[in-house]
């Protein structure tokens, strides 16, 4: 794979990642707003919603792979591990506004996940 292919793949990953991030944010914010849920509860539900979206689109359109349970579990471990790590790291920087706190959590995840998915999940 040449450098242009890697850049194009990263761009597609970013595109679908932005959409998944918006799915996550809108879901979390809606849960916070309509149910007065905690940031943790809202982001947990939002994570699973965005996870399904992301797995389908990353598998089919970014990594041109097929659906397999083993890949699904690897994808889940990477995404959930990153979610937990970013959540606990975000607690190190307390933000009083739940919406901004959620944005901080979501902004941390994508930087690590592309490399791990490329070289482990979809290897």
Matching residue, tokens 């932005």: 18
With left for phi above 0 and alpha for psi between -120 and 50, is residue 36 left, alpha or beta?
A: left
**Residue 48 has which token pair?**
């699973």
Q: Is the pLDDT of residue 22 over 80?
A: yes
pLDDT over 80 (residue 42)? yes
Of 2-11, 68-77, 104-113, the poorest mean pLDDT is in 104-113
Residue 47's nearest CA partner among 87, 15, 10 is 87
pLDDT at 6 over 90: no
Name the residue among 16, 84, 86, 24 with its Cα closest to residue 55.
16
d(C-alpha 32, C-alpha 34), whole Å: 6
Tell me: pLDDT of 109 over 90: no
pLDDT at 92 over 90: no
Q: Tell me, what's the pLDDT at 122?
A: 94
**What are φ and ψ of residue 63, in 5° steps?**
-100, 0
Beta-carbon count within 10 A of 62 CB: 23
**pLDDT band at 55; cut points 50, 70, 90:** very high
pLDDT at 101 over 80: no
Half-sphere exposure of 65 (CA within 13 A, CB side): 21
d(CA 51, CA 45): 10
Structure token digits, residue 87: 């959540």
5: tokens are 């292919």
User: What confidence category does residue 104 fall into, taking pLDDT thresholds of 50, 70 and 90?
Assistant: confident
């Amino acid at each position: 794979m040449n450098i242009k292919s890697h850049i194009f793949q990263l761009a597609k990953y970013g595109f679908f990642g932005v959409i998944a991030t918006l799915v996550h944010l809108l879901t979390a914010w809606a849960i916070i707003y309509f149910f007065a849920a905690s940031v943790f509860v809202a982001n947990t539900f939002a994570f699973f919603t965005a996870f399904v979206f992301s797995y389908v689109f990353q598998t089919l359109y970014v990594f041109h792979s097929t659906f397999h349970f083993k890949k699904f579990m690897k994808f889940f471990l990477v995404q959930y591990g990153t979610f937990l790590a970013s959540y606990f790291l975000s607690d190190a920087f307390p933000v009083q506004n739940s919406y901004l706190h959620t944005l901080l959590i979501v902004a941390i995840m994508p930087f690590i996940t592309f490399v791990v998915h490329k070289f482990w999940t979809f290897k």
